[in-house]
Structure 1
Amino acid sequence: MSIETPNLPSSFLDAVNPLPSATIRTRWYMCVIITLSSLNYPDVIPQVYAHLDANLLKPMSPDERFLAIRQIREGLIKSTGIVGACRTGNAMRTLSHCIPEELREKDSPRSKEPEDMVRKRGKEFWSNIYARNPAFDPEASVRASPDYAFIVREVLYARIFSFDGVLDALTTGYAIVSGLYGMDCQNQLQHHMKGMLFNGATKKDLEDLRELCLTLANVLGIRFRHGPAPIPTIPEESL
């Protein structure tokens, strides 16, 4: 039995058009595609890509188009650590079918990085999110499972989240939080929204991202177990 793919209304997709820069519009498309992946609606991604192509990519130079698509792909890769390989894989392959040959990547930059360097970078990235957060217990994961804690810190943060060859720390936060909204993962949403604040986001940025992700879910008829995640605050001395 086939399941019909829902159509995103133009009123939702066209909300990207007034955003003030190509960088911010690219990030908007990235967040929408990651949320669709997290919600398990990869079949809707071609609609988003068609809008992206018509409204953002066409006026760009070839190098600008490649960079925009690379940033969206990188956002999906970062979200693997939140959403998991299966949903991310479905989304990445669906997106790949939309992308012309000249916008594809030919190699893996992560595979060329030395292990000691990525572990150091991962520790710094992890600390920048959690070390200044008094609500976070850094030993909770270790008590739960030392092996799980190792995977999170030495694999997910080192190899996935902290890679800075394409996205900066703040845009990485957008990717992570978009995936968390789709997963309705409230505790981690609080920690990673604080991480975004530590990396330069404003309360308005977080409110706009929450509205985008929850509006998309509402358009698709998704009903979450929890209500909208409250926007956190952080002490000034933590900045």
Structure 2
Amino acid sequence: MPSLLTPAILSSFRATPLLASSWYYVAAATFSVCNRPEEIPVIFKYAVEHDARRRLAAPQPTLEETLLNDSLTRPSSPTGSTRSTGSYGPEDESALVDCTDRDPADVAEIVRKTREALLKGCALAGLPKTINSMIQLRNATPHEFRNEVVVRPTLSSEDEQIRGTEFWNQVYGKVSRRVLSQMNTAYPDLAQYAVQHVYSPLLSFTSILSAKETSYVIIACLIPQDVNPQLKGHLKGGLNNGATKEEIMRVRELSIQICTLCGITWKEDVAKL
């Protein structure tokens, strides 16, 4: 399937200064929910090329250093050896994004934030879409950036639930108890699951994506699903998490732009602030 994304479209995604450091993971989360995971490597490549600084040229080794390195060089791997690819099938090296001239720290941040946005989208749009999107991102990610393990703090279940409840209350503000009561009335297990298994371990973890950035992702994931009641709450939740109205509206506009590219339609106008 050909990509929907042209350089002009990608340029328009990152054109607003309000989302200069956020556009790529907002876009990736939206495409994931729209079930177009194949667009995520295109976004990743463009973000690396335009948002990662160029690597400073390394100083050339002296003759003595060159001779020493040559003497210490180990024999290459035997002919016919292959890189282990786990359960993903044969490695397609041509799919890897070329990051050789880019600052590794910048590339690592782009990978890290995109992964986290897709992971948080799992709670909003389902595990299958997240799996497909993660695999697409992994296949485009150079090997040296693939295996980073995010060390999430080891909390007791009680402390984790406190963190999740605090995040819930921060998002919903004055209506937090009312929203929880509505969910509890619908089905008590629903309210318990939302706080204990979505907000506590996942959405309230803000070491990679801040509370504000998490709201960006939530909004981007809700818009394709045509769920205005929940979207209205999280548009206001973005304000409660520190975003400005202008930032939230730009996230909304970007997500709508992507949904339109993907052929998404809505029963009524998409909610706004």
- Fold in common (TM above 0.5): yes
Shift of 1:127: 0.6
Check if 1:13 corresponds to 2:55.
no
In structure 1, distance between residues paired with 2:262 and 2:3: 7
Check if 1:43 corresponds to 2:85.
no
1:32 and 1:40, CA in 2 relative to 1: closer, same or farther beyond 3 A? same
Q: Deviations over 1:55-84 (max 9, x none)?
A: 123525212221221111111111111111
Shift of 1:223: 2.0
2:104 to 62, 73, 76: 62
In structure 2, distance between residues paired with 1:228 and 1:188: 11
Match of 2:212 in 1: 170
Shift of 1:18: 4.1
Shift of 1:87: 0.8
Match of 2:246 in 1: 204
1:82 to 101, 124, 129: 124
Shift of 1:10: 2.3
What stretches of structure 1 of length at least 5 have no aligned partner? 232-239
Shift of 1:200: 1.8
Match of 1:34 in 2: 29
In structure 1, distance between residues paired with 2:252 and 2:167: 23
Match of 1:160 in 2: 202
- Pairing 1:85-164 to 2, within 5 Å after superposition: 85-110=127-152, 112-133=154-175, 136-164=178-206
1:111 and 1:168, CA in 2 relative to 1: closer, same or farther beyond 3 A? closer
- 2:41 is matched by which residue type in structure 1? P
Check if 1:195 corresponds to 2:192.
no
| Cα pair 1:123 1:153 within 8 Å, conserved | yes
Give me the TM-score of the superposition, normalised by structure 2: 0.76
Could you say which structure has the larger radius of gyration? 2
% identical aligned pairs: 28
What stretches of structure 2 of length at least 5 have no aligned partner? 55-101
Moved more, 51-60 or 116-125: 51-60
In structure 1, distance between residues paired with 2:49 and 2:178: 43
Question: What SS class does the counterpart of residue 133 from structure 1 fall into?
Answer: helix
Shift of 1:158: 0.3
More helix by share: 1
For the aligned residue pairs, the C-alpha RMSD in angstroms reads: 2.1
In structure 1, distance between residues paired with 2:270 and 2:182: 25
- 1:114 is matched by which residue type in structure 2? S
Give me the TM-score of the superposition, normalised by structure 1: 0.86
